[in-house]
Every structure is written in structure tokens, then in C-alpha cells.
Chains A and B, each alone.
Chain A
Amino acid sequence: MSSHSHEDHHGELGHIVPFAIYRNVLIGLLVLTVITVWVAKAPSMDFGNLNIAIAMVIASVKASIVALYFMHLKFEDKTTWLYAFFPIMLLVLMMGLIFLDNPFRRADQPVEVNDPLAEQLQQI
């Protein structure tokens, strides 16, 4: 496996990322966190079932800038990208198929677990 192509900043092993990028990513992450909380908590931003999807999308944006810049993925070679993306592909496959299949598995009677304390607690 050949070494990476970025040889600037006299980094013979790794690409040295300018401080400004780290700083901007930090600010971006904190801002996105504020946005996440605002979108979730503000009464005017209630999208019902979409809330969880929006929260996950924002979280994915944060995760990708952490991976790309803090973890240097943007400056890594193709093999590393493959290793990093492989679990994502597996994830998409697993979660995607499960979420497609799960709605068709709902039993007519919901499964009631035998809760030994249920009767006792009726008296509380």
C-alpha cells in the first residue's frame, strides 16, 4: 500500500492540518449542538414523526465533520476510506432491512410480559 499523496507542511508521515480547520470544526460542532437542542425543544419546531429523523440528520452532519477533520479521514488514502465506510454500509443494510421488515411483524395481540409485581403495585 503506497503512502498518501499529501506531502505538504513537511509531514513525512501525515498531513498536518491547519489549526483554522480544527477551530472551525469545533465551532461548527458546538453550533450544531445548539441547533439540535433548539430544533428538538422549541415549540415552533415540532414536526411530529419527523423530529427524530431531523435529529439524526443533524447528528450525522456532526459525526461526519468529526470523522472527516478530527479523525483526518479527508486526508487519508482509499483503503482507509474503505475500512471506515464498510461498517456504514453494513449498518445501512442491517437497519434498512430490519426497519422494512419490522412493520409486518406486529402481532395482533401485543406481547404481555408476565410482571410478577403488577398485582402488588395495583394497591399502591
Chain B
Amino acid sequence: MTSVAQTIPGEPPHPHHWTPTNAYHGAKLGMWLFLATEILLFSVLFTAFALYRWAYLGEFHDASLNLDWKLGALNTAVLILSSFTAALAVDAAQRGNNKRVKHLLLFTVMCGGIFLVVKYFEYSHKYHIGLFPGVECPVVEAGALHGSEGHGGGADVAEGGHHLEYCWPKDTSGLSEGQREMLVSSKYKMYFGLYYCMTGLHALHVIIGMLLLSWVCFHASRNRFSEKYYTPVELGALYWHLVDLIWIYLFPLLYLVD
């Protein structure tokens, strides 16, 4: 009697009360259930974005101009391609070709890496022009720390001791008064609060997907899978497709809709 701990390459694990076929279908169903929760998670953020966009249309329009749609389109193409190779990896696993599974999953993970690199460039550009969470940082004047009454946080602004500063697009001379006013408004920053929440959470999912697929890839390199057992490949690919799905909605909403 084989225990669960023993894994024979190409053979499904044998928990006591399941047949391998039932285990496969049950696992897939469980994964779809989890994906359902992920969809609900992101849809809440989309709803919030929709409501605030409706309320602050002008500010959201101006804020969205800070995003480079070409980088977004590049990321979309990268993720679509990675979804394609992930689906092909499942196909290879169904045919028992572990080597091909390994190569395809490596390519998929690499595409995820490219996505994150592009994301890094986007984020760092925004950092340079002062559009990031917590940009209002307390700047403590020298010697003031002992003298000031500790209120903590950014509550006291003009009091002696420390003040808050925005690191801002340095050159606002080309802007009209109304535009400059818009830049400092909370409504404008609301766009970026939602932007960082949504793309940040998505990037976290990309990282998780890359880790999952790397782990599956490792097992493929050990010839773990066969026509009889490829459940982890399929589940990992399903997760990756979800990551792609979310970006398919994020891209037009954030980058293209003015």
C-alpha cells in the first residue's frame, strides 16, 4: 500500500479514499472555486474605481494621462503570450512530455518577469514625478524634534518643528491655476490610490503565479507528470490565466479610457 508521501514519477498520488480521476476533477473544481473568489476580490476594486471615476471625471481624466499606454499594451501582449504558453504546457503534460512542460513553463515565468520589469519602469517614473502613496512625508527641521509637542503623524502642519512636503512635479509653471489646483486635490490622488491598489495587487498575483509555475516546472524537470497525472500543471495554468484575465480588464480601464 503506497502512502501519500511516496510519489512515483508519472503516477498520481494515492490518498486513501479517492480514485485518481475523482481527485483530478475535485482538484480542478476546487481551483475554479478559488478563482471565483479572486474574481470577486478584483471586481470590488473595479467597482470602487467606477464610482470614483464617475464622481471625479475631470481629475481621473487628467490623472490617467500620466500612464503610458504603450507600456500597458506591451504588458498586455506579454501576458497574452504567456497565457498561450501556459495552455500549451498543459497540453504537453496531457501528452506526457515533461521536457516540453518544463520549457513552456520557464517561458511563461520569464514573460511574467518581463511584465514585472516593465511595471518597475512605470512605477519608478511615477515615483520620480512624485505620484506615489505617502508622498506627503513629514520633513523634520533640525533641532525641532525635542522642542515640538509630539502629536505624531501629519496632523500638525504649520506648527514649528516639522512640516509636510509634497515632492511634486518640479515644474508646474506651464500649468494653469485650475490645473495646478487639480493636481493637489484629493480627487486627483484618488485615481492613484486606486491605480496602485489594483496594479499592485495584480502584480502580487503575477509574483505568486510565477512562484507556483516555477514549483510545477521543478516537478516537471523530475518527470513527475504523465497522461495519468498532470493536475498541478493544469491548476497552475488556471491561476496564470486568471492573472491574464484581470490584466485584460485593467489595461483598457486604466490606460486607454480617457
Question: Chain A residues in contact with chain B, CB under 8 A?
Answer: 1, 3, 10-14, 16-17, 19, 22, 25-26, 29-30, 33, 36-37, 40-41, 51-52, 55-56, 58-59, 62-63, 66-67, 69-72, 76-77, 79-80, 83-84, 86-88, 90-91, 94-95, 98-99, 102, 106, 110, 113, 115-118, 120-121, 124
**Which one of B3-11, B114-122, B203-211, B227-235 is at the A interface?**
B227-235
Complex formed: what's the CA distance from A59 to B257 in Å? 12
- Which of the residues B25, B155, B244 comes within 8 Å of A3, measured between beta carbons? B25
Nearest CB in chain B: distance from A34 CB, A: 9
Are A98 and B47 within 8 A (Cβ)?
yes
B98 within 8 A of A: no
- Which of the residues A16, A17, A106, A120 comes within 8 Å of B163, measured between beta carbons? A120
Are A87 and B40 within 8 A (Cβ)?
yes
Are A71 and B238 within 8 A (Cβ)?
yes
Are B256 and A3 within 8 A (Cβ)?
no
Are A56 and B249 within 8 A (Cβ)?
yes
Chain B residues near A90 (CB-CB < 8 A): 40
Q: Is the interface of B mostly helix, strand, loop or mixed?
A: helix
- Which of the residues B36, B47, B136 comes within 8 Å of A94, measured between beta carbons? B47
Nearest CB in chain B: distance from A88 CB, A: 8
5 A-B pairs within 8 Å (CB atoms) are namely A3-B25, A12-B228, A13-B227, A36-B252, A55-B257
Complex formed: what's the CA distance from A19 to B241 in Å? 17
B window 39-59: CB within 8 A of A: 39-40, 43-44, 46-47, 50-51, 54-55
- Which of the residues A14, A87, A117 comes within 8 Å of B94, measured between beta carbons? A14
Interface residues on B, range: 35 or more
Please name 10 further chain A to chain B contacts, defined as beta carbons within 8 Å, in addition to the given A16-B95, A36-B252, A77-B25, sorted by A numbering.
A22-B84, A40-B257, A66-B245, A67-B245, A87-B40, A90-B40, A98-B47, A102-B54, A116-B154, A124-B168
B window 77-109: CB within 8 A of A: 77, 80-81, 83-84, 86-88, 90-91, 94-95
**Which one of B27-35, B140-148, B194-202, B212-220 is at the A interface?**
B27-35
Closest CB pairs A-B (n = 8): A40-B256, A55-B252, A87-B36, A113-B186, A83-B32, A87-B39, A70-B87, A26-B84
Question: Chain B residues in contact with chain A, CB under 8 A?
Answer: 21-22, 24-25, 28-29, 32-33, 35-37, 39-40, 43-44, 46-47, 50-51, 54-55, 69, 73, 76-77, 80-81, 83-84, 86-88, 90-91, 94-95, 136, 154-155, 157, 163-164, 166, 168, 172, 180, 184-186, 227-228, 230, 234, 237-238, 241, 244-245, 248-249, 251-253, 256-258
Nearest CB in chain A: distance from B140 CB, A: 16
Nearest CB in chain B: distance from A78 CB, A: 11
Are B91 and A26 within 8 A (Cβ)?
no
Chain A residues near B25 (CB-CB < 8 A): 1, 3, 77
- Which of the residues A13, A59, A63 comes within 8 Å of B230, measured between beta carbons? A13
